[in-house]
């Protein structure tokens, strides 16, 4: 399971690095990772202090630190 989460975290990090700040829904849709794994990846990246999470309107927006 941790390999799957680590892989998802890498995909999310690369997506944000290439595309800049994005909503959680956009990351989920455009990466093809299921919602649960995206949420786990967010936790992983947050724990490693590599991710900023900001509410913009009603959307959670992710960006790299």
Whether 26 contacts 64, CB under 8 Å = no
pLDDT score of 2 more than 80 = no
The answer to whether the Cα torsion of 23, 14, 32, 4 is positive or negative is negative
Q: Residue 47: its pLDDT value, please? A: 96
CA 41 from chain center: how many Å?
Answer: 6
Q: Residue 3: its pLDDT value, please? A: 81
What's the predicted TM-score (pTM) here?
0.90
Say whether domain 2-64 belongs to CATH 1.10.10.10: yes
Listed by start position, the domains of the chain span 2-64
pLDDT score of 1 more than 80 = no
- Angle formed at CA 39 by CA 35 and CA 45, multiple of 5 degrees: 140
Task: Give the tens place of pLDDT for each residue, 13-54.
Answer: 999 999 999 999 999 999 999 999 999 999 999 999 999 999
């Amino acid at each position: 399971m941790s390999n799957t989460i680590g892989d998802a975290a890498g995909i999310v990090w690369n997506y944000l690095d290439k595309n800049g700040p994005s909503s959680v829904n956009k990351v989920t849709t455009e990466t093809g990772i299921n919602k649960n794994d995206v949420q786990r990846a967010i936790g992983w990246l947050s724990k490693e202090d590599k991710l900023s999470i900001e509410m913009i309107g009603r959307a959670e927006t992710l960006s790299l630190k």
